[in-house]
Chain A
Amino acid sequence: MNPAVHARPLFIALGLLLLLALWLSLALGPVSLPLQETLQAALRLLGLPLSGAGLEQAELILGQIRLPRTLLGLAVGAVLALSGVAMQGLFRNPLADPGLIGVSSGAALGAALAIVFGARLGGLPEAFAPYLLSACAFAGGLGVTTLVYRFGRRNGQTSVATMLLAGIALTALSGAAIGLFTYLADDTTLRTLTFWNLGSLNGASYARLWPLLIVTIAVALWLPRRAKALNALLLGESEARHLGFAVERLKRELVFCTALGVGAAVAAAGMIGFIGLVVPHLVRLLAGPDHRVLLPASALAGASLLLLADLVARLVMAPAELPIGIITALIGAPFFLYLLMRGRS
């Protein structure tokens, strides 16, 4: 299959798109800052001793609100898209999404536990309490994914098909548990749960950012090293093995990277759908299935798309905010349908 777009122009275009998304995400918001003030505030953040009327406010909005939020969006978008590529490669199916191995439902289960029962714990140390939700979501995602992987193992082999089915079963089980918590929850907890399930980059702060940034950088550096192995896996497992790739180790690494990446993203920003499914698919349509291009291009496209979606989320209802999951689904689903129809004709 010949790619519609060659790698170099694709990377240039996606790089420019990401720069544009980054700039818009920093420059636009419910508080309208003049371009000059934004630039001056940015220079001040870099340490230049500028002063002027209203600059302190601008610096605060840029440095404490928009920049952490933009970095969060960048990391979440990139890591969700990368995990999507890893899953579609592992299952050799372009319709696979990180939810298949249970990481999303596990994270949702952990979050529901934290939201519904967190208040009853009470005696948590002050420093840990704000991180309870994130920690539980991350642990839940990792835990359920580990279970799914264990179910897939037999005689030292990992059966991808068994993993898929185990993932479906455990997702259903988590869904039942979440349903039970929903039933037990009171009105306010219920609303918190609902909002969490729709995701948001709201309230991003540097303190919550760095675990996700580290995970994202690790995943973004690690997965492209396995691009050739992923390409070989497209031919089939035994073919890849005969070509000299350590398939079992590859599968383990893919599952681990996805659990880590999606777990951290969900812990930081709640559930954000469609990025992990649509972005790799879209990039594959444009650039073909070569993972050496697909992986970095998906990371760039995922980050751009999430930043633009977040821009819509915070501008369209200002001064209130829409949950970002609504926007990604609202843009992602029709676009996906369009791609399907176009591919058929």
Chain B
Amino acid sequence: MRLDLRLASFCAALLFSHAALADEPLPQRWVSAGGSLSEWVVALGGEDRLIGVDTTSQHPASLRALPSIGYQRQLAAEGILSLRPDLLLGSEEMGPPPVLEQLRSAGVRIEVLPSKPDLASLERSLRRMGELLGTPESASRVFADYRQRLERQRQWIADAQRSQKAPGVLLMLGHADSAPLAAGKDTAAAWLIEQAGGRNLTDHDGYKALSAETLMVLDPEVVIYADRTQKGAIDPQALLKRNPALAATRAARDGRLLALDPTLLVGGLGPRVPDGLAVLSAAFYPSAQALTAEAAR
């Protein structure tokens, strides 16, 4: 009996030490190539590990102070090595492949995480980041919270749609003064509009310029401007003066012109997406009681 116990504890110790050996030391110096990945690292409490980010990592603003490794698809091996990173984090878009190969042979760990805008990809990414940060529980908590917020959002939209039809929405990308590009049906913008309970009106691919006549034919109920230079709310008077065709649409008549931070449109499901969706849905369904960020939690 005693022997059995000793044997058992020995086995347990063996098991433990084996598990400890299998655990590599956690990477301490991180380089992140991908806007929403960097954002998630910060959200999971790993900002102090980041020593470099790519040009798409613009949020939170504190990341812009870090050394820039350039565009995520045009990384340079020696530049990244000069930061002495343990880990390079990026999406499938990261490249070019020969540079990743050079980095790998120099001993940099490379983690390619999925960036598709679906919850399964996000869950896998967050779990991996949690493991790498050494805080898997808090990462799974963050994910559960995130999923719950999106679920409430969906519920709220279903409720709101009982009293109001889904509005037709057009999202314009770019400077409102020049000819902005309308988001097509396969874009992240269309995905965002549909998640917020709107109906994307376009049926082209990608982002294309729209003629004034097409704009009048589509006659959107809501127009969203995603303009990098836009700070704060839109001044409808000035906008309509510059875009006369817009004035003939229902959106302009009803004053439903919205501003959206264009960085929400890149890099899949970032931490700011639920808040952005809540704002959009509130504008899509003005008569329903707004689902504030606090109420959603």
Contacts and interface: CB of A to CB of B under 8 A. Distances in A.
Nearest to A66: B78
Contact of A65 (B55, B96, B102): B102
Nearest to A186: B206
Interface stretch (A99-107, A231-239, A286-294, A318-326): A318-326
Nearest to B208: A183
Contacts of A204: 98
Contact of B74 (A64, A185, A186, A195): A195
B71 A195 contact: yes
A41 to B, nearest CB: 13
A3 interface: no
A31 B82 contact: yes
The size class of the interface chain B forms with chain A is 20 to 34
A183 B99 CA distance: 29
A321 B207 contact: no
A61 B101 CA distance: 13
A320 B68 contact: yes
Interface in A157-213: 183-188, 191-192, 195, 200, 202-205, 208
Interface residues of A, number: 32
B185 to A, nearest CB: 12
Nearest to B81: A31
A321 B79 contact: yes
A114 to B, nearest CB: 13
Interface in A286-323: 314, 317-321
Given A205-B98, A319-B52, A321-B74, A60 B79 contact: no
B184 to A, nearest CB: 9
Contacts of A191: 71, 73
Contacts, number: 88
A220 to B, nearest CB: 26
A319 to B, nearest CB: 3
Contacts of B107: 57
B68 A203 contact: no
A30 B81 contact: yes
Given A66-B78, A319-B76, A130 B106 contact: no
B93 interface: yes
B105 interface: yes
B211 to A, nearest CB: 14
Given A187-B207, A200-B74, A318 B99 contact: no
Contacts of B79: 30, 314, 318-321
Contacts of B83: 319
A41 B132 CA distance: 33
Interface string B77-104: 1111111000000000100111101100
B67 interface: yes
A143 interface: no
B136 interface: no
A32 interface: yes
Contact of B81 (A61, A192, A200, A317): A61
A29 interface: yes
Contact of A321 (B76, B93, B97, B205): B76
B82 A319 contact: yes
A57 B81 CA distance: 10
Contact of A30 (B71, B78, B93): B78
Contacts of B67: 319
A29 B76 CA distance: 11
Nearest to B103: A65
Interface in B199-241: 205-208
A203 B52 contact: no
A181 B33 CA distance: 27
Interface in A54-72: 57, 60-61, 64-66
A322 to B, nearest CB: 9
Interface in B115-141: none
B106 A60 contact: yes
B105 A30 contact: no
Interface string B173-210: 00000000000000000000000000000000111100
A187 B206 contact: yes
B70 interface: yes
Given A30-B82, A31-B82, A321-B79, 10 more contacts: A29-B78, A29-B82, A30-B78, A65-B81, A187-B206, A204-B98, A208-B98, A318-B82, A319-B69, A319-B82
23 contacts: A29-B82, A31-B82, A57-B107, A60-B105, A61-B78, A61-B106, A64-B102, A65-B77, A184-B206, A185-B206, A186-B205, A195-B71, A195-B73, A202-B74, A202-B99, A203-B102, A208-B98, A314-B78, A314-B79, A319-B67, A319-B70, A319-B82, A319-B83
Interface of B: 52, 55, 67-71, 73-74, 76-83, 93, 96-99, 101-102, 105-107, 205-208
Interface of A: 29-32, 57, 60-61, 64-66, 130, 183-188, 191-192, 195, 200, 202-205, 208, 314, 317-321
